Amino acid sequence: MTSAVLMDGKAKAAQLAAVITADAAALYSSSGVRPGLAVVIVGEDPASQVYVRNKKRTAESCGFHSVQHTLAAETSQQELLRLIESLNNDTGIHGILVQLPLPKHLDELAVTQSIVPEKDVDGFHFQNIGKLAAGHAADTFVPCTPAGCMRLIADQLGSDLSGLNAAIIGRSNIVGKPMASLLLQANATVTICHSRTRDLPGIARRADILVAAIGRPNMVQGDWIKPGAVVVDVGINRIDVDVDGERKSMLTGDVDFASAVRVAKAITPVPGGVGPMTIMMLMSNTLTSARLAASRR
């Protein structure tokens, strides 16, 4: 039995990093503008700390001006909004990212909407969301995970997905909904599924492109997958497993990789699939913002 092609997000991200690094250097040489990314983290969440460290390291390796603001968990809403306002007004910063989730006492919606749309490199501002939903992806910031997924899908199927059925499992504002907008713009026929969808396996089996973003480890089984489908696993779940009688923690996706890899045409591994692409799309959005800032000077 044949095995699926692995969509190597790490290798793809490395290719994009080389292009972004060269383009950032060219922008600085021609205009004196160095792309600037500010990352704000509130509290001590270990997973968030890792993500922020990776983003900062990647920005620096691409030649960006990189700033990190680490705030105490008890930081007030007013203090956080004041910091974002100062970054909005800082001409050396072109992208602002507030690491989610925030501590419970902070209003996540108010925080994401306080970032000016032209520095909203996460693509969470309502103006950017609205433009994407209306089909204006060319001049808006697309959320980084869906943007990265589309790059991986295009490598397998091309940029025109006419005649192909796509199913997305998960309807979040960060992945599911923007993913649907991007797939529609690429001419796919799109179904969004969620916890209340009837016959979820049946819908998944009809999909030429299956995107799993539900946050449940190994939920999507091999017999849910249409033979020859392209499977994008957005899930990152930490589970405990027995290894030689010892309990160890490991990362797994929303797709049961062992059974899916025997059915799909191509599949993203976890880790090393969508994750590295997400960070690289953040760099791409920041570079775009810097270019736009340079053109307005």
Which residues are tagged catalytic? 55, 99, 122
Helices (H) then strands (E): counts for the chain: 10, 11
Q: Residue 71 belongs to what H/E stretch? A: strand 65-71
Q: Which residues pair with 96 in a beta bridge?
A: 38
- Whole-angstrom Cα distance, residue 184 to residue 13? 24
- Whole-angstrom Cα distance, residue 173 to residue 105? 21
- Whole-angstrom Cα distance, residue 276 to residue 145? 9
Residue 166 exposure: Cα atoms within 13 Å on the Cβ side: 28
> Per 3-state DSSP, what percentage of the chain is helix, strand, and coil (rounded to 5)?
45, 20, 35
- Whole-angstrom Cα distance, residue 68 to residue 192? 36
CB-CB contact of 180 with 172 (8 Å): no
CB-CB contact of 47 with 74 (8 Å): no
Q: Residue 133 belongs to what H/E stretch? A: helix 126-133
CB-CB contact of 210 with 229 (8 Å): yes
Distance of CA 183 to the CA centre of its chain: 15
